[in-house]
Structure 1
Amino acid sequence: MASNVLEADALHLAGVAIQMVGLSIFVFGFFPVKPTLPGHSGPESFQAPKCNSIQNETERDLHPHHLGSLYKELSGMPPAFDRLILMVIDGLPAELVLGKDGKPPSKALMEAMPYTQSLLANGMAIGYHAKAAPPTVTMPRLKVKDTVQVDQNVSRHLGHELNKDDWNFLILHYLGLDHVGHIGGRNSALMAPKLSEMDDVVKMIHMNGILNQKNDQGRTLLVVVSDHGMTESGNHGGSSYEETDSLALFIGLNNDISDYSSSTHNIIYQVDIAPTLALLFGVPIPKNNVGVLIADIFGYLADDQQLKALELNSWQLLRLLQAQMPGLSCRNYLCDGFSDDQESKITKCSGSMGKMFCCLYTNAALLQNSWMSKEFSRSKSREDYSSVVTAYYEFLRTASEWLSRSATDKPVSLLTLGIAAMLMSCLILLSLLFNMCKEVYIREKYLFDLESAMQTWYLDETFVLGVILILIVSMVSSSMVEEEQYIWHFVASTLNLLLLRKAIQCPPCGGAQGLHTLSKEQNKISCFRLSSIFVVLVSGRILRGWHQGGVNWTNLPDISKWLEQAGTDNIKSIQLVSCLLLMTLSLYVLFLLGSNKKFVLVIGFSFLMSGLLVLQHVTKHQDGMFVSSSYSTTTLVQIIYATLGASTFGTVVALPWLVPFSISEMCSNQDLYMSTSAPNEVQNKSLMAKLRDSLYIIGWTYISCWCILQLLLQQTINSMPILLLLVQIFASMLYFSYSALHHKPWVEVAAFYFLGMAGHFALGNSNSLATIDVAGAFIGISSHSTVLSGILMFMITYASPIFHTTPQNNAWLSLSGSTGVELHFVDSVHHHIAVNEEPSLCLERLFSQEINQQKDMLTKLCPVSWEMEYRN
């Protein structure tokens, strides 16, 4: 026996160890470390990547002025600008400034930025839709709600700073527009005023007279960029067009642009900005950048200088390719140079990727060499120049796309090995679990008769196991992950329909059968069961239509959009009604048990006080979708936090000591505990019954406090879903309390879990980082705290799964193991229970075992009452 235990422990440890090793291998494969070029770019960037090139490290130690002169000499092209103003407007979609699909932005948006639009219309600026690489998420994802002061702090000294000559690089980072999006979405009422504010900054810089003017300060370039776009709801983090559509606006180039369309309907990649700016200012391109020069920006240069810029960009990408592909040498040109008979050999590129890159680069270099030789003979043509540019861009785009893809490529061998190790671990642990269940079954086989031990598989149990397998398979598809909410809504509603079918087919048992009630009482209890599951289905359907989640169909109408269009007054009314109903339901269910009236009154008073404080916060400090950030608001929220925390912590700590460990009054009337013949088993089960009552109060206190907290933190539109989630919890608990003998515990756990996941998506969440609500993460925080804000954001995002954890772990145990709530509920409706039924009532509260075991125990404890009852 001892050897079997040791063997099982060894297998358990081995399974866990293999699981951790497999997970580590999978993580290393999923987040691979790609080879990069070390250090920073230097003078070697202006030289061809020869095989035997040797870097001169002393050149890096030169004074910046001498280093700039060296760069100018090596590059062969003078810097176009001396100073750069980089204006970053966080979260600004290019669509709001440049339009979309060949169409200009809406009239309201154009009127919000009149000066910027005039620059684009007059050819004094050129704008690009700069596609950002996903994920479009900025860490640590914690943002403040202020939209005014955060930008005023950037602009208040701007006029004074522009007149100084002690800088050559000025960065202006405006966060207000991103905050506006997170709070109210793209169509927020604050969006147009914020765009107008940004337009005023552009006007200030341009009218300052430092752009397009040669003076002692040198020429200055203004570049207006954004790091990402935003969805209709104002969030970002995914790879949709709205989230990756960022802005790149160049002001001060003096390029000849004929029309508005040429200035606005251009598409580039965000990584293309770095090499473009580097060559505009005569500095080396960053070593590990994968961008390509923006062709239109260098229109002011002569043809030979434009080709030189493309050549420098090609050298930089070629070095990066050599780091990624050690076998890449291109020896025909890089090491040996051109021979006279190679100049006319332009070949068709094919074969491996390494050969493809060498071929494309060699063709471009050959065409450039041929064009340069024709320049001396004055026989060059415009077609020859265009062919050279086309060849260079073919190489640059091919190399850039391959390097971008390789940065996210994952080694399949490591992923496969990690998954195989984790599957092996799962098989080991499942075999141990199977053996444990087998031992339990054999043990129970001798304790119970064969008919009660052999459980029949019902449709709901088969469905739950099938859902688990379906979920595992669905996780391999990205499309299924993006639209996962449909799976959870379907399985939650389907399982509850199966439970409804089972409730109709099966007669009431458990508490009703233990009480030996009349047929009329059984029918009423059946009605309660059917009503409970019906309430779960109806509330689930409302939650399903509250938010359109996922990625593909978020634009479809739903209840939340309809309420937002109806106005903030309607939303506030629903919020107030939801808060009042939630408080009423919480207090009603709490007083339903009534094990200790005094302590229940204390908890109920804390519920009431917290709810009233939330109502005060809603009425006085919330204006539509915006929450005041004043000192009084923060203090009030902190009081709510303290009250809810004290209520939950105090209940968990104090309740097990304050609830009297005694038999109920019904058992006391029969002198059950006064009997000297009462076995210790009775007393132990009495303690367990009281402990279950305590767990019920603790669980419901946690649930109620959690709901009140979510009314404070969640978006105002989510107040009604919070109430519906609480209604689902209570209805499910009632249903399972009446059907304890009809369902296995793991089916009940699965039912609560399905409701929790469906509720998670019903609150507007999805598997995209773009739907994370960060607006509530700073409610009640007087100063920035990454830890506190992160905790609040975690609570907001995973409100429903955490909310449904308590019923899974202790509330359903209390209800299915002890019918105290059921009896109190029945007693409140049917208070005519006969006195001679008290012994069986007491027995039902004390024991939740099989009926045969209860009879044996009852004949020992209350033989007289038992005989009287069964004689009747």
Structure 2
Amino acid sequence: MHPCSQTLGLVAQAVFGILLFLCGFFPLRVPDGRVATLADWPSQVGDVQLPVEEEAHGRVVGRLVLMVVDALRWDFVAGPAGATSMPYVSSQLGRGDSCLLQARADPPTVTMPRIKALTTGSVPGFVDVVLNLGSPEVGEDSLVGQAVAHGLKVVFYGDDTWLKLFPRGFARSEGTSSFFVSDYTEVDDNVTRHLAAELGAPDWDLMVLHYLGLDHIGHLEGPASPLVAPKLREMDAVARQIHSRLRQWGESTNRTAAVVICGDHGMKDSGSHGGASPAEVLVPIVTLGLGCPGSSRTAEPVGQIDLAPTLSVLLGLPIPAGSLGKLVPGLLRGLPPSRQLHALLYNARGLAAKFRGHVAAHSTHEGWMAFEDAVRLHSEWLAAGGRSDGALFRRALGLYSIAAEEMSAVLAGSLVEFDECALAVASALLAQVCLLLLFAGPVPCPGRGECLLSALLLAGNALLCAAGRCRSVLCAAASSLPGALVAGAAFFLLACNSVRLLRHSRFRMELPRGAAPRFLAAGTALHTASLAATSFVEEEHQTWYLLWPTLVLLASPRAPLAASLAALASHRALRALNQTGDKWSALPDLHDWLSLPGRERYLLAVFVAGLLGLLCCCWFLMPSKDTRALSFVAVLSVFCYRAAVGNISISFYPQSRGVVEARVFWGALCALLASGAYRGRAGAGHLAGCWALASALLHRPHNAVLVPALVLFSSHAHHALWRDPPRWASVAHVWLGQLFYFYQGNSNSFASIDVAAGYVGLQDYHPYLVGALLVSHTYSAPVLSYLLLLSGLDRRHHASDLTREGGAAWGEACRAVACARVLPLAVYAALTTWQRHHLFVWTVFSPKLLYEAVHTAVTAVLLLLTAACFQVK
């Protein structure tokens, strides 16, 4: 039996446990199928019947263009540069028919959930960030669906996510891939080229445009890029073209036409998005052709979900049935007073119906009482003759707005239903796996006791389900066959592990000896405990930046003084390479300095230094003559790729997408892998060298130095801990993986994911390949650290195959790596369950939970490859 096989089985249980936990924590919201109709408009207010002749839901806007500019953050329009970057839009805001609103997007700030929020008025589930690559069809009521159902013709051009969400919603359309971020020119030209023909066409009512170029520039170079201002001026010119033609159409037909310009999400200073920082969640909504309250530059705060009900009313459509948004009163000022109040009543009554069903003490809530007062004042106003300048009208208008805002805010946070049964079972399973990994001895196989206990647990769960007291994915009695299989597997594992732990009544753990091993154990426990606080989760890098230099100091008596001093000096430089975290991520770092105009030579020098160090490390890890030549070709290909795509300044090198250079690199890497395929356990160095080369290709140029630095840090850790059991070198390498993970600029926010890494050398969008490249780039440091651990064990035991002594060390190292991964996972799952109603559960705890899940899956794959690739004597 391979020494890692037992550990691999426990890690597989951990993967199953975290998947079950995610199903319970991020349940997929199943639409109830309700579709709103015009009959939902109220026919009376209190005891007062609304006049039959009143056109309560007549169409206000004859033509509407919804122009979504991906990653258009608030300060791009409202900031100091707005007047120069978007001069036409800025000039129109000085008129009475244009308006600027500040909208807040709910996290996660990625495209697909934001489109659903804009069109349905609902708050998409957090799990939609995982589904963002797939974009399944919207199954709930929406603005697009209502428009089609009521005979409005909708046309669309832009991000093909819309076509996946609404495959039958558009009379004419053309989509562009939203994921190929290397292109920020053609992706917008393909939208604009349709405008002239469509603006002259007489047959459409609603046009949706979704421009992607600004978002792609942000991913590639950030919001400070010199490419941003020209792109904003391009969007300004498009808005001018649309507004001018719509104004001509309105004058010729004597009907109202309007343009609504908005961002689906913002953009962090690093250029990415997905988190909850102000730069990511605050976006502008500019309306051209609609009325505006007070000054047209008033930044009236609204929710992004408010756009769906407001546009529905303006187009004479029912508000989508699942909408939680409130009407924006300022955009209804052009309506007669009676219609304004009628529309606000319609919106508030729909929210009140949902509010009554989800809030137990609804009758005493401020929002509900404001709604009842508004209805009473509305009926009194109608009975008094309906004067627009009366106090009753103003009070009713204000109370409707307050009621809708209060109830909308409560509903947005109360509709999340956690699967508490699944959370409890998954947390218990993860805790059991963690305890079993902490045991030094073998884990006994399941017997009759385990089978009997699992059968009792499953029977008890079935009884609870039958009694209606358990509504969970584990409810085997009422679910499908897959659900029954999941429940059976969960309870069987739970029972087996329970009996195993009872048999293993005593911990057989060897206490660490020496300052460095003791600190490794204490530091791991300290880091795990720190995950209970949101601030420590947001700034987790600070924990590792404290633990690592302390470990270097404690281990310095066992290592050369020069090496320890070099490690500490390197740590200080590398931590300044990329600012990360939440509170100080906007502060300047070495990357920002290297990106300034005129610093191209310094960036080139850093990149070349990193590649030369990488070449030396590859020759150290793969010392044979044939691999040295291939390593040189691979490193040269990395250099040529970055020169081709323009990341480094080489005037004589032709610009391209770097497809040829990337293919040469992958060819050289495949040849390197083939040369080490039959080296057995000695191939660990080959794997480490190949992964180091791949990491350098995916890294930005300034991050290339991280790869040789990790190899040197690993060598220092091996040298300092070679006298101790292998478990402590393993834990040290887990620390190194986390340390360099944050050196790279990663964080526990989705905004730190470098999307551009998923398109290195690609010409087209391939979702699985892009996903694999993104995961490889994000977790490149933990994977390389693990492979360097294996390479160090090779050199330590001087064996071409697993001897008895080497096999024991191998198994101990795998177990330590698995334990160091499952321990924070199990504790964090329990902490997240406990704090599931915390204020920051969606902005802090949830992203970290997904990162932990993916990290665990990556570790499981590494352990599986270890067991499969290296043979035992």
Q: Common fold, TM-score beyond 0.5?
A: yes
State the alpha-carbon separation in 1 of the partners of residues 7 and 799 from structure 2. Answer: 40
Q: Provide closer, same or farther for how the CA distance between residues 403 and 626 of structure 1 changes in structure 2, counting only shifts above 3 A.
A: farther
Counterpart of 1:768, as a letter, is: S
CA-to-aligned-CA distance 1:698-754 (integer Å, 9 cap, x gap):
233222332222222211221222332232233334x15xx63x2121110111111
SS at the partner of 1:654? coil
3-state SS of the aligned residue for 2:65? strand
Structure-2 change in CA distance of 1:632 and 1:33 (3 Å): closer
Partners of 1:550 and 1:21 in 2: how far apart? 29
Asked whether the 8 Å contact 1:37–1:320 carries over to 2, the reply is: no
- Which segment drifts farther, 752-761 or 557-566? 557-566
Normalised by the length of structure 2, the TM-score is 0.70
Displacement, 1:630? 6.7
Is the partner of 2:297 in helix, strand or coil? helix
| 2:758/2:770 contact within 8 Å kept | yes
Counterpart for residue 279 of structure 2: 242
2:406 corresponds to 1:398: yes
State whether structure 2 residue 763 is matched by structure 1 residue 782: yes
1:192-203 matched pairs, under 5 angstroms:
192-203=229-240
How is 1:324-403 mapped onto 2 (pairs within 5 angstroms)?
324=358, 358-375=368-385, 382-403=390-411
Contact 1:467 1:491 in 2 (8 A): yes
- 1:543 deviation in Å? 1.4
Change (3 A) 1:193 1:23: closer
How much does 1:125 deviate? 1.4
Answer yes or no: is 1:459 the counterpart of 2:506: no
Aligned to 1:407: 415
- Name the aligned partner's letter for residue 276 of structure 1: T
Q: TM-score, normalised by structure 1?
A: 0.70
Aligned ranges 1:260-275 → 2 under 5 Å: 262-275=296-309
Q: 1:620 Cα shift? A: 4.7
Secondary structure of the structure 2 residue equivalent to 1:248: strand
Cα distance in 2, alignment partners of residues 21 and 704 from structure 1: 31
Q: 2:787 aligns with which of 774, 793, 806?
A: 806
Quote how far apart the aligned CAs of 1:309 are: 1.0
Determine the C-alpha separation between the residues in 2 that align with 1:480 and 1:318. 39
Note closer, same or farther for the CA distance 1:267–1:725 as it changes in structure 2 (3 Å cut). same
Matches within 5 A, 1:199-598: 199-210=236-247, 213-216=250-253, 218-253=255-290, 255=291, 259=295, 262-324=296-358, 358-375=368-385, 382-408=390-416, 410=418, 415-416=423-424, 418-420=426-428, 422-424=430-432, 426-427=434-435, 430=438, 433=441, 457-503=513-559, 529-565=560-596, 567-588=599-620, 590-591=622-623
Q: 1:721 and 2:706 equivalent?
A: yes
Matched residue, 1:444: none
Native 8 Å contact 2:98 2:288 kept in 1? yes
Counterpart AA for 2:640: Q
Q: Is the 8 A contact 1:224 1:248 kept in 2?
A: yes
Alpha-carbon RMSD across the aligned residues, in angstroms, is 3.6
Please, which of 83, 88, 110 is the counterpart of residue 110 of structure 1?
83
Change beyond 3 A, Cα 1:577–1:812: closer
1:92–1:246 CA contact under 8 A, matched in 2: yes
Aligned-partner residue type, residue 675 of structure 2: G
1:636 is aligned, of 632, 655, 661, to: 661
Q: Compute the displacement of 1:589 (Å).
A: 5.6
Inter-partner Cα distance in structure 2 for 1:276 and 1:183? 35
Letter in 2 for 1:814: D
Q: Against the structure 1 CA distance between its residues 73 and 544, is the aligned structure 2 distance closer, same or farther, given a 3 Å change threshold? A: farther
In the alignment, the residues of structure 2 paired with residue 625 and residue 275 of structure 1 have an alpha-carbon distance, to the nearest angstrom, of: 50
Please state if 1:184 is matched with 2:221: yes
Pick the aligned partner of 2:745 from 764, 767, 774: 764
Specify the alignment match of 2:672 in structure 1: 647
The answer (yes or no) to whether the contact 1:120–1:264 under 8 Å persists in 2 is: no
Judge which range, 235-244 or 614-623, deviates more.
614-623
| Alignment correspondent of 2:504 | none
For residues 786 and 746 of structure 1, what CA distance do their matches in structure 2 show?
A: 38
CA-to-aligned-CA distance 1:465-507 (integer Å, 9 cap, x gap): 212222222222222111111111222222222111345xxxx
- What is the Cα deviation at residue 285 of structure 1? 0.5
What is the aligned partner in structure 2 of residue 157 from structure 1? Answer: 194
Residue type at the aligned position of 2:533: S
In 1, Cα distance between equivalents of 2:620 and 2:791: 16
Q: Give the superposition deviation at 1:310.
A: 0.6
Q: Contact 1:36–1:324 (CA<8 Å) still a contact in 2?
A: no
**1:89 corresponds to which letter in structure 2?**
V
Is the contact between residue 607 and residue 704 of structure 2 (CA under 8 Å) also seen in structure 1? yes
- Aligned to 1:130, the other structure's residue is in SS state strand
In our comparison, the structure showing a higher alpha carbon Rg is: 1
Measure how far apart 1:12 and its partner are: 12
DSSP 3-state at the match of 1:647 = helix
Change (3 A) 1:384 1:414: farther
SS in 1 for 2:586: coil
- Counterpart of 1:373 in structure 2: which amino acid? A
* Residues 85 and 170 in structure 1, CA contact (< 8 A), matched pair in contact too: yes
What residue in structure 2 maps to residue 702 of structure 1?
687
Q: How many residues align?
A: 667
1:166–1:73 CA distance, 2 compared to 1 (3 A): farther
Distance 2:694 2:222 in 1: 24
Please list every run of 5 or more consecutive structure 1 residues that lacks an aligned counterpart in the other structure: 1-8, 52-70, 100-104, 328-350, 437-452, 504-528, 592-599, 657-690, 821-843, 849-872
- How far does residue 461 in structure 1 lie from its aligned partner after superposition? 2.0
CA contact (8 A) 1:93 1:247 kept: yes
Rounded Cα–Cα distance in structure 1 between residues aligned with 2:42 and 2:650 = 57
SS in 1 for 2:93: helix
Match of 2:840 in 1: none
Q: Distance in 1 between matches of 2:438 and 2:605?
A: 52
What is the Cα deviation at residue 649 of structure 1? 3.2
Q: Which stretch shifts more, 282-291 or 426-435?
A: 426-435
Q: Report the secondary structure of 1:423's partner residue.
A: helix
Structure 1 residues 399-420: Cα deviation after superposition (integer angstroms, max 9, x where no partner): 1001111134646676456434
Aligned to 1:861: none
Q: How much does 1:559 deviate?
A: 1.9
Deviation at 1:96, TM superposition (A): 1.0
Give CA deviations for 1:362-404 in whole Å, capped at 9, x if unaligned.
222111111211227x8x9622222212221221111100111
Indicate the SS of the match to 1:146: coil
Deviates more, 1:179-188 or 1:774-783: 774-783
Does the Cα contact within 8 Å between 2:257 and 2:289 map onto a contact in 1?
A: yes
Name the CA distance, whole Å, in 2 between partners of 1:583 and 1:617.
Answer: 16
Distance 1:407 1:642, change over 3 A: farther
- Counterpart secondary structure, 1:128: strand
Counterpart residue number, 2:36: 41
Counterpart contact for 1:273–1:291, Cα < 8 Å: yes
Cα 1:701–1:622 change in 2 (3 A) is farther
Which structure 2 residue ranges, 5 or more long, are not aligned? 112-131, 134-177, 445-508, 810-873
CA distance in 1, matches of 2:8, 2:181: 47
For 2:761 and 2:385, the matched residues in 1 are separated by 71
- C-alpha distance 491-10 of structure 1, shift in aligned 2 (>3 A): closer
Deviations 1:190-212 (A, max 9, x none): 00000010011011112225467
Deviation at residue 603 of structure 1 after TM alignment? 1.1
* Contact 2:67–2:262 (8 Å) recurs in 1: yes
SS of the residue 1:223 aligns to: strand
Q: Pick closer, same or farther for the CA change 1:531–1:589 going to 2, 3 Å.
A: farther
